[in-house]
Chains A and B, each alone.
Chain A
Amino acid sequence: MSEESKKSAEKTANTQAANPNPSPASTPHEAGSQQVIGEGSAKLGNAPVGASGVPVSMQSPTAPASPAAPGTPTSATGSPSAEKAAEKASETPRDKTDIEKKDSATSEAKAQAAATSGVEMFTVTVDGLSVEVPKGTAVIEACFRAGADVPYFCYHPRLESVGACRMCVAAVELEQFGARRTAIMTTCNLQVQNGMVVKTGTPDVKKAQNGILEFLLANHPLDCPICDRGGECPLQNMTIAYGPPTSRFIEEKRHFPKAVPLSDFVILDRERCIQCMRCTRFTDEIAGDGQLDLLDRGAESKIAVFSDTKFTSNFSGNTIEICPVGALTSRTYRFAGRPWEIKSVDSICAECGNGCNIAVQHRMGEVVRINGRTNEDINEEWTCDRGKFGQYYINSDKRLSSPLIRREGRFVESTWEEAFGMIADRLSQIKAQYGAGSIAGIGSTRCTLEENYLLGRVMRGVIGTNHLDHQMSSYPLLPMQTTIAEIENFKTIVSVGMELQREQPIVYLRVYKAKRRKGANWIEVASLDSGVEAILRQVGAEAVLLLPHHLQASELERAFAFCQETGTKFNLLLPDANSWGAPTAGILPNALPGMRPFADGRADVERMWGVKLSDAPGKAAGDIFASAAKGEIKAIYVMGNDPAKEFADPSQARRGLESAAFVVVQDLFLSDTAQFADVVLPSSSFAEKDGTFVNIEGREQKIKQAIAPRGNSRPDWRILADLMARLGTPVPYFSARDIYREYRRASGA
């Protein structure tokens, strides 16, 4: 029946021809003006290059070309289409939702990446303005580049287009079967042609969009006042900008269940769903598990999991974020706030070493939601469910709210003054009696770089001990040989002994992307003995090997040596948010900040700290606990770590902690380790402080304080700074940033 579509296309073409505004190519006058427009437009090829190395025009494609700006060649042409464009551009731009802003930023990043990779460039004229875009760009993305607003629902720059919602239409003049024709076409699934002419605001286009919105709203419940999306809802926004003011639909609306739990985290409101298939495509194309799909057909279509299954994907939360309506809601955020009451702070996820960029969103001092934030080098825009739903411990009532001191076997609340007094007295006394070597410190891969650095300074510089460690099991500190993003370019990816989806979620998404989009071969094996060597011998440098930190150290070293032989990239993936920050801060028995050996860093550090460092060799965690059990180590200072639970041999840690005469623990909760403490100091979560996390790639990223510290808690760095003062060393820090600067110098940067 393509005959029918042809016919309707002809019809549209006829209406176009009858349009008083002819398409630019149809009159010589227009053709001339088009050239002028081209000169003043955003060109990628020969644009001046800005400070960041990005062509200026790409940083803001509309700015230099905007026909509204007086004096630009476009406004001087006086051609009908240019005037129209000017008119359009001078309209106040529509207030876009965060979802849309994210999408257009992504499409821009995609275009830039393609442009710099040497793809052929096409010129497309959008509303009289010409832009250059790489071949393969979707027309909607070319429109974004030209600063035109094209409304859409199902389009997503990271998903394959389906052309389902039909909202993104424009009048497109294109070449097909050797002839040029103009038709109302969807732009999200149409690729640009060189010389294509697009008009986004013709009466036909507006009527079509108005019609689609009326259709979408016909059966839509419009329960905005109780809908989580209300206030940040693309459907609301598009309706205001493009929709009909009232509905002609007077029938009974379609009814579906309104709170269908798809998983422990995701709840589906089937009445609000507009069947855009963003969620199903996400599970299929990005997460790779395909756990969501449509059930039934036509007007009865509904999103569902397959029978007798649950939405167990570790990435389920992302579907909530990309749903353009309030159909997918989060169990944790449901009814917890309205977008306009929420403040959002850019931060980094504290749950694993991938280092997803996130937005911590809070309302009245409580974290209510964690959303993904775009970083093309790391998480693109996704997070895993642990990141999104696993950090509500921040709001927990079980958090410690004031310092605790053990008196007669029981913890009693105390003031910070009292607690610091007691710690300073006891540490000084132990140092005086048994020497600085009887005191040890345990840092944490979950505290910031600054905090670990400061613990190192207090231990080495103020107390004078080298017994410092952060590792709860020992593994070699071998840096990754590729970035996370580079993983997607390997032909063969071998992962050993881990469930990548859960242990390294974002690395997994790259691996799946490589497999899905670039045809990579992903081989998952249980252990290095499962034929890994034979595989790598075949593929060598075209392969990357992914290993977890929990393999035997000897195994890891064997694999490392082997990779050097075959040219395979070796990526040891560390577990925690700051697994690299703790050692680089100097929380190692025998290394200084920057992981510098003593011989190398000693002079710098001694000068900066104004002390002489101890020459005694430091003990690693295992030795610390063993020595404590033997009575050689008397005091253990634990920051943000839980060796009583997490040490490779917890009973060894427990014996050491039990035997030590004095134990101090800084933590959010009364942890297993805190049960052995004499003083417990309440620390603040990552949402309550500033600092730096160093992710698995060794990339430093800043976390930012979103909310005030809960109760009487203090950030770990603040606690250490206060203690340092109490121990009589002047404290030169007012902020985490001051500490960071000192760390940089101390590490020889």
Chain B
Amino acid sequence: MQEQPQVLYKNRYVPGINTLEVYLQHGGYESFRKALTMTPDAIIDEVKASGLRGRGGAGFPTSVKWVAVPKNRDQEHFLIINADEGEPGTAKDRDLMNALPHLMIEGCLCSLMALNASKCYIYIRGEYIEPWKSVQKAINEARKAGFIGKNVLGSGLDFEIYTHLGAGAYECGEESALMSSLMGERGMPRMKPPYAPLPQVKGVWDKPSVVNNVETVSTLVPILAMGGAEYTKIGYGSPRSRGTKLFSISGHVNKPGIYEIVLGTPFNEVLEIAGGVKGKLKTYIPGGSSMGFAPPTPMDYPFDYEGIPQNTKTLGLGSGGLIVFNDTVPIVPLAARLTHFYHHESCGKCTPCREGLNWMAKIYDRILAGAGRESDVDLLWDICDNIRGKSFCPLGEGAIWPVMTSLTLFRDEYLQYIRTGTYTPPVAVTTAG
């Protein structure tokens, strides 16, 4: 087994770590104190050296995103924290906000320093009342202690952090829809390059804005503490996937939960960390449902940004929401459930996602009701093909991925389900003697 150094979760289980007092006892806000002595460029250099990639799903190099922002305090610009966490199978940000709110706040402050910005909005998913309370309490404590507000720690710099609760839309986790929603508009995505300027140029209220995931900014705290060069030494796989990442592991494993795992750890070891598979592994979703279903083999590949797509034909690591299914799970109702999720969450702006997912949901319902046709398999595939690359934002794209991968992996099971209306789990063949 590979070693699993804990950098984000180092103090995760320390009692009272969600309070400022205990957090400070464990070296809290030291990274921020360090950041205050550094120039924005120096901080970004550390982040660049660390190889940190966005933990929200796209895995975009954080330093590259930050370089594009004008870093002049006279020109107002914003840091926006994406705490919408809607991707099925993902619950890591919830845990961070509940258990380590000060780590996240410190991460926000370090990122504000890197961007030379003074205002940060935390957009929290509407259903996350507990995490919101936890974060808000931490902000209040940090403000009292002088980490937030005017002239922070005598630096002459002002920092403000605001929380905003969404109204319950998965789409509002997409960064441009998030910005629209934050501005009080409908949570619909906006145009991006090459159609329109980057948010770093024209974001909320037309001002430069950076959207980052909760985990991404939290990771800044250990990076600044140990230095980017040291951080980049963590990792077992690809030179482009460095450090650790939080994985939400759910489904048929013996110990479901949130784990901090070094990127590149072999997949079978990842399963071991979660207590191993309950029963026989049928399929799994490696990084949130939008990434699609993976086949049960191979098992020993490096679980990171490069390893997953290469070995599983899914889209990749995504948000780190690993869902494991054993062979008692019928694929058709599972894909149907996911399709209903995306159909329900489609914002309705663009035709393929709005109409295509509606149609697919109806087809799945018909199949589940026993009125499926064998031609539905190809029809579903073709509908996906007509959505692929044509939807306005990646939600539509993400919605078809579980369907397409399930059709590829389990075509026969689909046909059998349509013919018989049921799924018969394979019987374990016991070889005598």
Contact = CB atoms under 8 A, between A and B. Distances in A.
B352 A2 contact: no
Contacts of A207: 385-386
B183 interface: no
Interface stretch (A99-107, A291-299, A363-371, A486-494): A291-299
Nearest to A277: B349
A538 interface: no
7 contacts: A3-B59, A4-B401, A7-B315, A167-B351, A190-B194, A297-B171, A297-B347
B348 A298 contact: yes
B26 interface: no
B355 interface: yes
B59 A176 contact: no
A216 B193 CA distance: 26
B59 to A, nearest CB: 6
Contacts of B366: 251
A4 B387 CA distance: 13
Given A12-B389, A297-B169, A219 B358 contact: yes
Contacts of B193: 176
A12 B193 CA distance: 17
Shortest Cβ-Cβ A-B pairs, 6 listed: A211-B386, A301-B348, A215-B355, A299-B358, A298-B346, A1-B394
B240 interface: no
B266 interface: no
B194 A275 contact: no
B186 A212 contact: no
B255 interface: no
Nearest to B389: A8
A274 B350 CA distance: 10
A212 B392 contact: no
B60 A166 contact: no
Interface string B326-365: 0000000000000000011111111110111111001100
A5 B397 CA distance: 8
Interface string A476-491: 0000000000000000
A215 B359 contact: yes
A164 B350 contact: yes
A541 interface: no
Given A1-B57, A218-B359, A299-B357, A189 B195 contact: yes
A7 B196 CA distance: 20
B60 A2 contact: yes
Given A4-B397, A191-B195, 6 more contacts: A1-B398, A211-B390, A215-B386, A275-B354, A299-B354, A299-B357
A298 B343 CA distance: 7
Contact of B351 (A166, A185, A190): A166
Contact of A299 (B60, B174, B348): B348
A212 B349 contact: no
Interface string A291-323: 001101111110000000000000000000000
A299 B315 CA distance: 26
A11 interface: yes
Given A1-B318, A3-B315, A294-B186, A189 B351 contact: no
A163 B350 contact: yes
Contacts of A254: 358
Interface residues of A, number: 53
Contacts of B358: 218-219, 254, 298-299
Interface of A: 1-5, 7-9, 11-12, 161-167, 169, 174, 176, 183-186, 189-191, 207-208, 210-212, 214-216, 218-219, 248-249, 251-252, 254, 274-275, 277, 293-294, 296-301
A339 B79 CA distance: 54
Interface of B: 57-60, 169, 171, 174, 186-187, 191, 193-196, 290, 315-316, 318, 343-352, 354-359, 362-363, 366, 379, 385-392, 394, 397-398, 401
B194 A174 contact: yes
Nearest to A1: B394
B394 A166 contact: no
A142 B186 CA distance: 31
B193 to A, nearest CB: 7
A11 B352 CA distance: 18
A5 B394 contact: yes
A215 B352 contact: yes
Nearest to B397: A4
Contacts of A3: 58-60, 315-316
B352 A166 contact: yes
B397 A299 contact: no
B99 to A, nearest CB: 26
A211 B398 CA distance: 18
A216 B389 contact: no
B327 to A, nearest CB: 28
B347 A208 contact: no
A216 B59 CA distance: 34
A11 B357 CA distance: 22
A215 to B, nearest CB: 4
Contacts of A296: 348
A296 B169 CA distance: 11
A165 B350 contact: yes
Contacts of B389: 5, 8-9, 11-12, 183-184, 208
Given A11-B389, A298-B348, A189 B191 contact: yes
B192 to A, nearest CB: 8
Given A4-B315, A176-B194, A215-B359, A165 B351 contact: yes
B201 to A, nearest CB: 14
A399 to B, nearest CB: 48
Given A169-B390, A212-B390, A298-B354, A251 B191 contact: no
Nearest to B373: A250
Contacts of B350: 163-166
Nearest to A153: B351
Given A11-B389, A163-B195, A215 B57 contact: no
A254 B343 CA distance: 14
Most B CB contacts (10 A, CB to CB) among A3, A248, A275 go to A3
Contact of A163 (B169, B345, B359, B392): B392
B191 A163 contact: yes
Contact of B58 (A2, A8, A9, A274): A2
A298 B58 contact: no
Contacts of B290: 1, 4
Contacts of A11: 389
B149 to A, nearest CB: 35
Contacts of B59: 3
B362 A164 contact: no
Contact of A274 (B316, B349, B351, B391): B351
Contacts of B57: 1
A164 B195 CA distance: 13
Nearest to B401: A4
A736 B237 CA distance: 88
B391 A166 contact: yes
A275 B351 CA distance: 8
B369 to A, nearest CB: 11
B398 A4 contact: yes
B374 to A, nearest CB: 14
Most A CB contacts (10 A, CB to CB) among B58, B59, B187, B351 go to B351
A164 B390 CA distance: 10
Contact of B355 (A4, A183, A208, A218): A218
Given A218-B355, A251-B359, A297-B348, A4 B386 contact: no
Nearest to B396: A166
Contacts of B171: 297
A324 to B, nearest CB: 12
A394 B343 CA distance: 50
B405 to A, nearest CB: 13
Contacts of B385: 207, 211
A517 to B, nearest CB: 14
Most A CB contacts (10 A, CB to CB) among B169, B345, B350, B389 go to B389
B359 A275 contact: no
Contacts of B357: 298-299
A699 to B, nearest CB: 38
